[in-house]
Structure 1
Amino acid sequence: MSRGGRISYHLVDAFTEVPGGGNRVALVLDARGLTTEEMQQVAAKLGQPQAAFVTHWEGATFEVRFFAANGEVEFSGHAAVALAVALSGEIEPPNSLRKLYLRTIGESLLVEVADRRAMVQSPSPRFRDPPSWRALQEVIEVMGANERYIHRGLPYGITFTGLWTLFMPLVAPGLVDALEPDMEQLAKLSDALEVATIHAYAPYGPRRFYARTFAPALGIPEDPVTGSPNAALGALLARAGVVPRWEGEVSLSVTQGHRMGGPGQVEVRVSYGPAGNILGVFIGGTAVIAEHGVIELGGSPN
């Protein structure tokens, strides 16, 4: 089914309280009747690397589809946080706590939102065998570094919470900022390893990390402040025992975006079962609406 006419949109910056910071995403809160092709057209015309569309809702459950530059993805963390904050403002005063559910193409995710801050459940973590050390060396060299940058006490590996991500632990935040990847080669390596993003991270305090995310395979050279890879990072650290499992629930903080001039903060929460198994991962932070307007299908934003 196709719906012509005027489409209202919002541009929202996630993981920040300041317009222009964090990570910007295009949102269409009423995409009922839009075809996949029309959603891709709207996303392209709004000119953002990622976009989210609410295609149906009933009560506090919202069906959502996420798009990156090269097509549809199962989940986008920063888009989900931005969407939850925008929806809470549409539903009722933003300072009241509310629980929502986002039904994605993969699963239904719980959201807790209040006062322009949302905590979004990520898709269930999945893990693959880590790449060989030789493959890891090849990746780090394409990123403009060498194996001496790698932190030997933190886990590397491939984890999924919406996107398959390769994690590269580095010794210090300054080394993360020093990376200058060859994006064409990194896209080829990403395809070969069957991952969507490369997430370089380093510790800078107790349960605090600094990171950069490269996603040339998705048509995004560098993503400023990311949700899904940081959820997967929390799952990877928890699985490796870097954060203690006996606490029941552990909170981490990841800082991103400084290198791109739009710093943001991502909160990650990992909950455990009695046996130490991971029950769930939540990501969250603040979001602010930077712009809203109307776009004509086949036209330009107004």
Structure 2
Amino acid sequence: MVTDSPEILRYAAFADDPAGGNPAGVVLDASALAEADMQRIAAEVDYAETAFITGERDGARVVRYFSPVAEVPFCGHATVATAVAIAEREGVGTIRFATPVGEVVIETSEADGAVRGAFTSVATDTAPIAEPVLQAVLDLIGLGRDALDERYAPLLSYAGNWHPVIVLRDAAAFDAFTFDPAAARALLDEQGWPATITVLRRLPDAAAEVDGATAPDRADRGLRFEARNIFPVGRITEDPATGAAAAAVGGYLRAIGAVTPPERVVIEQGRHVGRPGELVVDIPEHGGIVVSGRAVPIG
């Protein structure tokens, strides 16, 4: 039992607007909190995750992440939000977090009065999705195999959490699919997936006609996706901007040969829940994936 309530900060990650992106709770000094206290606070904050800095180990700040219902191994948007909160108080630079999945390094920078955070995930991995499990995911969202984009094979992808990743071909199907939150939670728990089910759609390439030829008109060479991340916790059913899933997507695209590293991919997310945001994903030839974005205080 704690006698003093810690200061709880609230930030919107991967957005310039407090009404966009993914809200995260941040407790910069949770050294006096027991695990039960952190879980209670996360439930009271009622965001997808709240991050707690519980101390320091070998020069890295020890961070734990809690959803309203359970501790999760890693959370990208809360990592960015926490790093930005620290940078606003201590100045920008390199921050090291000791997380349950390993050390995560975050680079913070400032431009035009806004602070940006870029974290490098742990090493990525992929694994097949068993056919019955893939069918269960498709049944959950009410779609058949013909809805999948044949360019992108469904896989499990890891960048701190395991995420099933599927890519849909049709924009209308992507926008219209619905799911039962209780069934989604049961599937996540049954498979031991601690975070989101990631559903993507490849957006049209950003190309412009120049003298009869096409040329990219964006720095990311047009490689953009939109994501919907199924994550029923508390009042939340769909996550607005998921940094850990974005890192997993980067590892997934590299593993299937869909990109030629070094490559930059931009992921739009949150439109379907009224909190649009953007995640920038830099994919090196080897190692962790770099996910970056801004974070702004809420309220």
TM-score (norm 2): 0.87
Whole-Å separation in 1 of the counterparts to 2:188 and 2:62: 30
Cα 1:184–1:203 change in 2 (3 A) is same
| Paired residues for 1:160-239 under 5 Å | 160-196=158-194, 197-204=196-203, 205=205, 206-216=222-232, 220-239=236-255
Q: Aligned partners of 1:195 and 1:5: how far apart in 2?
A: 34
Deviation at 1:195, TM superposition (A): 2.3
1:285 matched to 2:298? The reply is: no
CA contact (8 A) 1:15 1:265 kept: yes
Match of 1:130 in 2: 129
Work out the CA distance in 2 between the residues paired with 1:138 and 1:190. 11
Per-residue CA distance 1:55-100 (angstroms, 9 max, x = gap): 11479631111001221111100000111111100102xxxx5111
Aligned to 1:294: none
Q: CA deviation at 1:191?
A: 3.2
Partner of 1:85: 84
Name structure 2 gaps, 5 residues minimum.
Answer: 206-221
Structure 1 residue 218: Cα displacement: 8.6
Q: Deviations over 1:221-245 (max 9, x none)?
A: 2111111111101101101100014
Q: Which runs of 5+ in 1 are unaligned?
A: 273-277, 292-302
Q: Given the superposition, is the C-alpha separation of residues 58 and 160 from structure 1 closer, same or farther in structure 2, using an over 3 Å criterion? A: closer
Q: 1:173 to 1:62 in 2, by over 3 A?
A: farther
Flag the 1:36–1:194 CA change in 2: closer, same or farther, 3 A. closer
Q: How well do the aligned residues superpose, as a CA RMSD in angstroms?
A: 2.0
Percent identity between matched residues is 28
Deviation of residue 35 (structure 1)?
0.8
Question: Are the aligned partners of 1:143 and 1:180 in contact in 2 as well (CA < 8 Å)?
Answer: yes
Residue 95 of structure 2 corresponds to which residue in structure 1?
100
Equivalent residue letter for 1:100: I
2:238 alignment partner AA: E
The aligned amino acid for 1:258 is R
Match of 1:252 in 2: 265
Is the Cα contact below 8 Å between 1:69 and 1:219 reproduced in 2?
no
Change (3 A) 1:41 1:192: closer
Aligned to 2:108: 113
- Cα distance change on mapping 1:187 and 1:59 into 2, 3 Å: closer
With the length of structure 1 as denominator, give the TM-score of the two structures.
0.86
Given the alignment of the two structures, is residue 53 of structure 1 paired with residue 52 of structure 2, yes or no?
yes
Paired residues of 1:266 and 1:285 also in contact (CA < 8 A): yes
Question: Would the aligned equivalents of 2:46 and 2:235 in 1 still touch at CA under 8 Å?
Answer: no
Deviation at 1:270, TM superposition (A): 1.5
Partner of 2:217: none
Q: Which one-letter code corresponds to 2:244 in the other structure?
A: S
Structure 2 residue matching 1:200: 3-state secondary structure = strand
What is the letter of the counterpart of residue 107 of structure 1?
G
In the TM superposition, what is the alpha-carbon distance from 1:217 to its structure 2 partner? Answer: 7.3
Structure 1 residue aligned with 2:281? 268
